[in-house]
Structure 1
């Protein structure tokens, strides 16, 4: 990582941990809903399991928001990674519904196609401390997200492995998919090891460690965090209807796409998304973070609605890939905006609270998506999600177009 000489050693370790972690998220987000269907779960039960994985993010983000600086950021990251390994092991060893729900609740299984889990709030707060020039703040968030998305794209390709195992070793589809849960646990163990090498520099100063609480957040920051949290909740609730596991299930059910084809689709989508982060950073330096968030997001949501009406598999792929080239450009800009408009000692709380609001809202959507699919149509969640996301975009622009980070004033 010589080209990242402006990033500290801790920053590079965080980037490496994110690469390994999101690589494992990539293949699991594709196969999980399909695996649950194969072992006999219906759409509503699948939605409940997916919801449980998102509920985990809510609980762990809240804990990180108010206790990470008290107990130590490094310790919490290591604990979360250990639980990630345990969760993958449970999925490997049993098909018991209660056990899988418990695993989804205690682990950090990611099914969304983008990271929303417990690690994000802590790492998001640390990242600005890892750059030597504050002008590189937007760039480190772009690199962080780009690295994760490239890794997730590579992981998505691995979701085609079960099909190869079936043909080569004669295992059935369920048995072949289980190998991925083993690999998921191995990746988690590697992440644990990486976190052990983080230095004390990632921690908040001892004299400031007690200040990370709701009471200590300034009134100005409280207002910003409250508004952002409300709007992010709308966006995330809408996003829950179109998480990667549901999109994968839609391609599988509507067009009969196999795992290898799905792995190619989502891998290409990931590459497009990764490059979009760098483009978003360049645009943000010219027109500002809020404008970049809004004016790249609205077109992507129009494409999401159009995806619901795609008549053929090739057209559906084209629309989906076009959408993915735009839909995540608000991610690094959003993360950079949050840490820029609050004080340094408020960053974990701000990131944690806004991420928690996203996770709480998103946790309900997969179950509702299952109900909507059964009662309306397989494509209906895309329309609902797209319309709600446009409402979010308008809300962000109206409320925050005049609240600028210090470097934009």
Structure 2
């Protein structure tokens, strides 16, 4: 009988830990996507101004930055799985709190301390932890391809989440008003945090030996600091057009409905998702840095053209072009950082390049909100595009000679 049990055990295929990570990422990005679209509508419906919406977005990103700093210190000595579970618990609390709290000051505190993500992207306390876990579980040859899959899963989920933002309008015929429908979606966000926590719980514990290795930065410190500075410029630029503020621009500039916004963000997210495997394919032919730069610059130009578009169809066309190109640097950037540092520094490098990005991204939404309030609606998009082009040119100048091992 013992032999039979052993054979049965050996016959059960082992599920790769990355599968649980991808599932949790999908749930989180699904929730982030519909919350990013619903957040400005919810806050405006509660009577707050565009400037106050921008301040809440800034508070959220600043809080994420500070949480990521804490993760950077804790991640060197504590199991990443436990930290991810703590983040999932915070996501649950955030969703419930947003569903029941209406006071602006309290919402500001919840946005700062919680996991609400107005960018619906990679600015999140979960990201450096997930990067470190994923890199630990794959080989160097698989690294870029797995980061592309990781980003692909999140983007597909985000596209569907953007479409789900229309649910409050769909519920209207059954007697639930828009405000009640949005509150229900925040409860759904909390439930997604619960399900994500169940997947994080399946990730293997990190051996104690790895914990001692994931200490401070060493020989790659100079490289990481330069990358962090450049990534901060990119994130500061992106903060002017986080998804919540882009939705606000579409609502105010073209009177886009919530259902139409959901459909647009679905297609936008779908195009971003399809770009990730293309980025992995392209990077094998022209290199990681070239892929990052020469796809990013056209996307920034498309954003600036959208800001000047005279009609809604023209603006949406340029924004969809931007969506198809702007995220191709996400898996390549993550893979590049992991490739140019030593194995022992990877967890620290993931945190040190994420924290400045989060801090920089936190500064610009409030500025964008002020521009919206001053009826200078096109300027956030124009500033974002111009700064991102500057970032791309600086990245190319500084790192075109520093190739990852697979390109040497």
- Please say whether Structure 1 and Structure 2 have the same fold, judged by a TM-score greater than 0.5: yes
Check whether the contact 2:76–2:215 (CA below 8 A) recurs between aligned residues: no
- The whole-number CA distance in structure 2 between the counterparts of 1:207 and 1:30 is 43
Q: Which of 85, 90, 110 lines up with 1:83 in the alignment?
A: 90
* Residues 212-251 of structure 1: pairs in structure 2 closer than 5 A: 212-214=214-216, 217-219=217-219, 221-251=220-250
* Corresponding residue number in structure 1 for 2:58: 51
Check whether the contact 1:22–1:148 (CA below 8 A) recurs between aligned residues: yes
Check whether the contact 2:79–2:211 (CA below 8 A) recurs between aligned residues: no
* Corresponding residue number in structure 1 for 2:381: 382
1:134 positional shift: 2.5
Give CA-to-partner distance per residue, 1:214-258, whole Å, 9 cap, x none.
Answer: 3xx223x11111100110011000000011111111111111111
Are residue 117 (structure 1) and residue 124 (structure 2) matched?
A: yes
Check whether the contact 2:87–2:126 (CA below 8 A) recurs between aligned residues: yes
1:317 positional shift: 0.8
- The whole-number CA distance in structure 1 between the counterparts of 2:15 and 2:334 is 19
1:375 positional shift: 2.8
* Corresponding residue number in structure 2 for 1:342: 341
Q: Which of 181, 191, 200 lines up with 2:196 in the alignment?
A: 191
1:65 positional shift: 1.4
- The whole-number CA distance in structure 1 between the counterparts of 2:337 and 2:70 is 19
* Corresponding residue number in structure 2 for 1:134: 140
1:290 positional shift: 0.3
1:7 positional shift: 10
* Corresponding residue number in structure 2 for 1:207: 209
User: SS at 1:326's partner residue?
Assistant: helix
Number of positions where the alignment pairs a residue of Structure 1 with one of Structure 2 = 396
Q: CA RMSD in A?
A: 1.4
Check whether the contact 1:22–1:115 (CA below 8 A) recurs between aligned residues: no
- The whole-number CA distance in structure 1 between the counterparts of 2:42 and 2:318 is 26
* Corresponding residue number in structure 1 for 2:112: 105
Are residue 162 (structure 1) and residue 162 (structure 2) matched?
A: no
1:207 positional shift: 3.1
1:210 positional shift: 3.1
1:376 positional shift: 5.3
Q: Which of 36, 39, 48 lines up with 2:46 in the alignment?
A: 39
Q: Which runs of structure 1 show a deviation greater than 4 angstroms over 4 or more consecutive aligned residues?
A: none
User: SS at 2:403's partner residue?
Assistant: coil
Deviates more, 1:328-337 or 1:158-167: 158-167
1:211 positional shift: 4.2
- The whole-number CA distance in structure 2 between the counterparts of 1:99 and 1:190 is 26
Task: Show structure 1 runs of 5+ residues with no match.
Answer: 1-5
Identify if the C-alpha distance between structure 1 residues 53 and 355 changes in structure 2 by more than 3 Å, giving closer, same or farther: same
- The whole-number CA distance in structure 2 between the counterparts of 1:66 and 1:343 is 18
* Corresponding residue number in structure 1 for 2:3: none
- The whole-number CA distance in structure 1 between the counterparts of 2:136 and 2:280 is 19
Check whether the contact 2:20–2:199 (CA below 8 A) recurs between aligned residues: yes
Check whether the contact 2:118–2:243 (CA below 8 A) recurs between aligned residues: yes
Q: Which of 177, 180, 184 lines up with 1:175 in the alignment?
A: 180
Check whether the contact 1:156–1:263 (CA below 8 A) recurs between aligned residues: yes
User: SS at 1:69's partner residue?
Assistant: coil
- The whole-number CA distance in structure 2 between the counterparts of 1:115 and 1:71 is 22
TM-score for both structures, normalised by structure 1? 0.94
* Corresponding residue number in structure 2 for 1:301: 300
Deviates more, 1:108-117 or 1:75-84: 108-117
- The whole-number CA distance in structure 2 between the counterparts of 1:268 and 1:237 is 25
- The whole-number CA distance in structure 1 between the counterparts of 2:134 and 2:101 is 38
- The whole-number CA distance in structure 2 between the counterparts of 1:377 and 1:98 is 26
User: SS at 1:296's partner residue?
Assistant: helix
- The whole-number CA distance in structure 2 between the counterparts of 1:20 and 1:176 is 20
Q: Which of 12, 22, 46 lines up with 2:29 in the alignment?
A: 22
User: SS at 1:135's partner residue?
Assistant: coil
* Corresponding residue number in structure 1 for 2:10: none
- The whole-number CA distance in structure 1 between the counterparts of 2:301 and 2:244 is 21
1:8 positional shift: 5.7
Q: Which of 75, 82, 91 lines up with 1:68 in the alignment?
A: 75
Give CA-to-partner distance per residue, 1:347-377, whole Å, 9 cap, x none.
Answer: 1111111111110000011000011222351
Check whether the contact 2:78–2:211 (CA below 8 A) recurs between aligned residues: no
- The whole-number CA distance in structure 2 between the counterparts of 1:53 and 1:8 is 35
